[in-house]
Amino acid sequence: MKKDFKSQILEGIPKELPELQPYDKNINHAPKRKDILTDEEKKLALKNALRYFDKKHHEILAPEFLDELKKYGRIYMYRFRPSYKITARSIEEFPHKCRQAAAIMLMLSNNLDHAVAQHPHELITYGGNGAVFQNWAQYRLTMKYLAEMTEEQTLVMYSGHPMGLFPSHKDAPRVVVTNGMVIPNYSKPDHWEKFNALGVSQYGQMTAGSFMYIGPQGIVHGTTITVLNAGRKIGNDGLGGKLFVTSGLGGMSGAQAKAAVIAGAIGVIGEVNPKAVHTRHSQGWVDEVYADLDKLLKRIEKARKNKEAISLAYQGNIVDLWEKFAKDGIKVELGSDQTSLHNPWAGGYYPAGLSFEESNIMMAEEPDKFKKKVQESLKRQVAAINKLASKGMYFFDYGNAFLLESSRAGADVLKKDGSFKYPSYVQDIMGPMCFDFGFGPFRWVCTSSDPEDLKKTDAIAVKVLEKIAKTAPAEITQQMQDNIRWIREAQKNKLVVGSQARILYADAEGRIKIAEAFNKAIKNGEISAPVVLGRDHHDVSGTDSPYRETSNIYDGSQFTADMAIQNVIGDSFRGATWVSIHNGGGVGWGEVINGGFGMLLDGSKDADRRLRSMLFWDVNNGISRRSWARNEGAVFAIKRAMKNNPDLKVTLPNFADDKIINKLFNV
């Protein structure tokens, strides 16, 4: 007899082996990973995988898992994929003893939903390697633990592996997640390949491994804000008739097409994977697709003339697109790149001159040759970009390690002093315009999974922000207005995929006031069920990443990770429902430490107390660090926060006069 959803969750790892399921070719699967383990290590990987199962099954499972390891480079335990649909059901449908745990199950399920996840059968949510779990046994065990847990327990998770439920207390986080935490000297890309193949570590990306990914909306919003502000770098006359050229129509990069249109520009996006092009086109984010460069150029000229806000995909390699623009002298106003260069050798970047299929074979079978091809391709790409930049294009790194990997490849991206020729989007845009003032990607999810609740929360958020905007200082007016406009139009843009989620950028005051208003509305029944609060890790305080989130920190501390670690510790004892800290994230393994939280608002007094304490810290920690790094916007913001809360006492920097210092060096 087929078991229902609840009993399958409560069963955890089934006692009897489920039927082996055929490999579904219609699903977007993760690329085959590098064959990195020695035979001895492969034996270890098998022993590690078999730990999850009763000994009586080992004879059957051992050869099956070895086959997976050989074919895919990882042991996913495909046989244990559940037969029910994994999706953000309403909170009450998840079996639970405490609602906080049920909310986490909802969020986790959303991250594995076929409509949301990039490689759902490999438990990868986005970014090519952003994993929720390493294998299906971990998923099943975790769901069972969550279903059983009480408010006096905390689930401890090591890179997808649920170590177990430990006694704690009701104000403690229900789940503590660590992903990819390794000894710093063991944090090169091949270490990830090896530890992941052994089944002992995983790449949680930013929000995948913390169950906080909400589908493409978050990234559409962030990208819209970035493109709007990038546009302000080249003039205040808007983006009408201006060209924004970039690459990638994947998990996050796909947002560029939609964002370009919302921002009013002509977006031209190169994408080498026909499946990715098809997904974005059929979903309506890409308006038109071209495989012929001359036809594409004609269409661009028409769009420019008519000042159309439109997104055009080039189905092919981005290098060919850039070289064509450079050769034909096409004017490009804004340029970027969003291939997955945080993962350059295992499917993140497809070199020019090879077909998509040829690359997939070469990266697995001839990794050294493939690496050379990637590096040659990056050099060509940069040469074309340099040519267009010399004619006035504003180019920015989109936090995908493009400049970093290009420099490692020997491309011409460095200035004489060793710094990059182009800014990162955080250095020029997000950092000084948003993060230093505490503005970051605050989000919420309605656990009823009812669109009506989302509508109500949108209306509440607009009301709260409009009230704050009336007395907000001039320094933050632009950010407030961009976000009020966004939230007013949010329903129209139809960006909800999966859970009923919303995102906007707000500072500490905005986040706290919105959260308070939600909690009140839940208490009085206006909103029908609890709401989960969270944020992208890509925020003011959560992430230390010298080439991205903290790239506008110039006191030398951009290579430290104290802020992210302090943040997650601080969130955990101020009332977060779950916390997570990751090595990896958007720019690559070893290049970033990032953390986040989730918090359930259930209308209670406890939730009210927790939200105030935690959200205040969660934003002001980063502002204080940015202020100490002498960032003027942050000095302004932290002084304002101290004025509003006398219990906050932050050490402020004194600004040394360059003249005094230069004199000592005879400058």
Spatial CB neighbours of 237, under 8 Å, sequence gap ≥ 6: none
CB of 502 to ligand NAD, least distance (A): 18
CA distances from 378 to 246, 341, 411, 655 (A): 14, 10, 7, 40
Q: Give dist(CA 556, CA 531) in Å, integer.
A: 39
Q: Which stretch binds ligand NAD (CB under 6 A): 28-36, 242-250, 506-514, 521-529?
A: 242-250
Site for ligand NAD (CB under 6 A): which residue of 342, 537, 582, 626?
342
**104: burial class by Cβ within 10 Å (0-12, 13-18, 19+)?**
buried
CB of 81 to ligand NAD, least distance (A): 22
Of 162 and 216, the one with the shorter C-beta distance to ligand NAD is 216
Of 337 and 602, the one with the shorter C-beta distance to ligand NAD is 337
Q: Please report how the helices 189-198 and 39-50 are oriented relative to each other, as an axis angle in degrees rounded to 10.
A: 50
Q: Which stretch binds ligand NAD (CB under 6 A): 295-303, 397-405, 443-451, 639-647?
A: 397-405
Of 372 and 609, the one with the shorter C-beta distance to ligand NAD is 372
> Which residue lies nearest ligand NAD, judged by its C-beta?
250
Can you list the pairs that 552-556 forms with residues at least 24 positions away whose Cβ atoms lie under 8 Å? 552/426, 552/427, 552/428, 552/431, 552/432, 552/435, 552/436, 552/631, 553/625, 553/626, 553/629, 553/631, 554/629, 554/630, 555/628, 555/629, 555/630
Q: Which stretch binds ligand NAD (CB under 6 A): 326-334, 341-349, 444-452, 495-503?
A: 341-349
Q: Give dist(CA 161, CA 52) in Å, integer.
A: 10
Site for ligand NAD (CB under 6 A): which residue of 219, 263, 364, 512?
219
Site for ligand NAD (CB under 6 A): which residue of 48, 134, 340, 594?
340
Of 82 and 588, the one with the shorter C-beta distance to ligand NAD is 588
CB of 655 to ligand NAD, least distance (A): 31
Query: What does 524-548 look like in DSSP terms, one character per residue?
Result: TTSSSS-EEEEE-SSSTTTEE-TTT
CB of 40 to ligand NAD, least distance (A): 32
Place of tokens 């690359």: 359
Tell me the two tokens of residue 30. 């993760």
Site for ligand NAD (CB under 6 A): which residue of 52, 195, 285, 350?
350
Site for ligand NAD (CB under 6 A): which residue of 262, 266, 341, 434?
341
Site for ligand NAD (CB under 6 A): which residue of 126, 195, 244, 505?
126
Residues from 513 through 552 that contact ligand NAD (CB under 6 A): 538
Beta bridge partners of 178: 158, 581
Under the binding rule (CB under 6 A), the answer on residue 339 touching ligand NAD is yes
Of 145 and 213, the one with the shorter C-beta distance to ligand NAD is 213
CB of 340 to ligand NAD, least distance (A): 4
Q: What is the CA radius of gyration of the chain?
A: 24
Site for ligand NAD (CB under 6 A): which residue of 318, 334, 464, 579?
318
Of 118 and 577, the one with the shorter C-beta distance to ligand NAD is 118
Under the binding rule (CB under 6 A), the answer on residue 491 touching ligand NAD is no
Under DSSP, the state recorded for 470 is: H
Residues from 558 through 587 that contact ligand NAD (CB under 6 A): 586
User: What is the rounded (10 degree) CA torsion for 126, 398, 553, 392?
Assistant: 180
Exposure pattern of 373-402 as b/e (b: 16+ CB <10 Å)?
bbbbbbbbbbebbbbbbeeebbbbbbbbbb
Under the binding rule (CB under 6 A), the answer on residue 338 touching ligand NAD is yes
Of 222 and 542, the one with the shorter C-beta distance to ligand NAD is 222
DSSP E strand boundaries for 329-386: 334-335
Q: Give dist(CA 28, CA 274) in Å, integer.
A: 11
Q: Total number of residues binding ligand NAD (CB under 6 A)?
A: 35
CB of 127 to ligand NAD, least distance (A): 4
CB of 596 to ligand NAD, least distance (A): 13
Tell me the two tokens of residue 309. 């806000």
Site for ligand NAD (CB under 6 A): which residue of 159, 210, 229, 400?
400
Q: Give dist(CA 368, CA 371) in Å, integer.
A: 5
Under the binding rule (CB under 6 A), the answer on residue 426 touching ligand NAD is no
Helix runs in 283-425, H state only: 293-305, 318-328, 356-365, 367-389, 402-408, 425
Residues from 247 through 276 that contact ligand NAD (CB under 6 A): 247-253, 270-273, 276
Phi, psi (deg, nearest 5) at residue 362 = -65, -40
Of 444 and 547, the one with the shorter C-beta distance to ligand NAD is 547
CB of 592 to ligand NAD, least distance (A): 10
Under the binding rule (CB under 6 A), the answer on residue 634 touching ligand NAD is no
Give the closest residue to 633 by CA, choosing from 423, 428, 425, 476: 476
CB of 602 to ligand NAD, least distance (A): 31
By the criterion CB under 6 A, which residues form the site for ligand NAD? 118, 126-128, 219, 222-223, 247-253, 270-273, 276, 317-319, 338-342, 348-350, 398-400, 538, 586
